[in-house]
A and B are shown apart, each in its own frame.
Chain A
Amino acid sequence: MIINTTILGWVTFIYFGSAIFYIFRMVTGREFWGPFASIIAFTGLIAQTVGLILRWFESYKMGIGHAPLSNLYESLIFFSWTIVLLYLIIEWRIKSRNLGAFVIPFAFLSMAYASFSPNVNSRIQPLIPALQSNWLISHVITCFFGYAAFTIACGLGFMYLLKGLGKDEDTRPFFRFLPGREIVDELIYHSIVIGFIFLTLGIITGSVWAYSAWGSYWSWDPKETWSLVTWFIYAAMLHSRFVRGWRGKRMAIMSLIGFASVLFTYFGVNYLPGLHSYF
Chain B
Amino acid sequence: MKKTLLSFLSSLKLTIALLIIIAVASILGTVIPQQYGGGEAFRHLSPGLVKAFRSLQLFDMYHSVWFIILMGLLSLNLITCSLNRFPTSWKLFKKIPSLDRGKPFEKLSPDRILVIEGKPHEVIGRGENLLKKRYKRVRKKDTANSTVFYGEKGTYSHFGVYVIHLSILIIIAGAIISSLLGFNAYVNIAEGESTNTVYLGRQKGIKKLDFTVRCDKFSIALYKNGMPKEYRSNLSFLKDNNVIFQGPLLVNHPITVNGIRFYQASYGTIPGDQVYLTIKKGNDEEIIRKVRLKDSFYLKEKNAKLTILRIEENLMSMGPAVLINIQSPEGTMRFWAFEHIEKIKDRIPGLFKKVPKFNPGLFKPYYFTLNRIEKKYYTGLQLSRDPGVSTVAIGSFFIIIGFFITFFSSHKRLWVRVDEQEGKSRISVAATSNKDPVGLKREIEHLLRHFSYMRG
Contacts and interface: CB of A to CB of B under 8 A. Distances in A.
Interface of A: 64, 125-126, 128-130, 132-133, 193, 196-197, 200-201, 204, 207, 211-218, 220, 222, 225-226, 228-229, 232-233, 235-236, 239-240, 242-244, 269, 272-273
Interface hub of B30, B175, B230, B253 (most chain A Cβ within 10 A)? B30
8 contacts: A125-B227, A197-B407, A204-B396, A215-B386, A217-B386, A222-B30, A225-B27, A229-B23
Interface of B: 12, 15-16, 19-20, 22-23, 26-27, 29-31, 33-34, 62, 161, 175, 184, 223, 225, 227-231, 250-254, 261, 263-265, 382-384, 386, 389, 392, 396, 399-400, 403, 407
Main secondary structure on chain A at its contact with chain B?
helix
B231 A129 contact: yes
Contacts of B407: 193, 197
Nearest to A229: B23
A228 B400 contact: no
A220 B403 contact: no
Contacts of A215: 184, 254, 261, 263, 265, 382-384, 386
B263 A213 contact: yes
A214 B225 contact: no
Given A213-B252, A215-B254, A216-B384, A129 B31 contact: no
Contacts of B29: 220, 225
For the complex of A and B, 8 pairs with smallest distance between CB atoms? A129-B251, A215-B384, A222-B30, A215-B263, A126-B223, A229-B23, A232-B19, A220-B62
A233 B250 CA distance: 37
A129 B392 contact: no
Contacts of A226: 26-27, 30
B252 A200 contact: no
Given A126-B229, A232-B23, A216 B184 contact: yes
Nearest to B222: A126
Given A200-B403, A239-B16, A129 B389 contact: no
A129 B250 contact: yes
Contacts of A126: 223, 225, 227, 229
Contacts of B251: 129-130, 132, 213
Contact of A214 (B19, B228, B382, B389): B382
A269 B30 contact: yes
Interface hub of A211, A215, A273 (most chain B Cβ within 10 A)? A215
Given A220-B34, A220-B62, A197 B403 contact: yes
A214 B26 contact: no
Contacts of B16: 236, 239-240
A229 B62 CA distance: 14
A273 B383 CA distance: 22
Nearest to A230: B23
A217 B389 CA distance: 8
Nearest to B250: A129
B32 to A, nearest CB: 11
Given A215-B261, A217-B389, A239 B227 contact: no
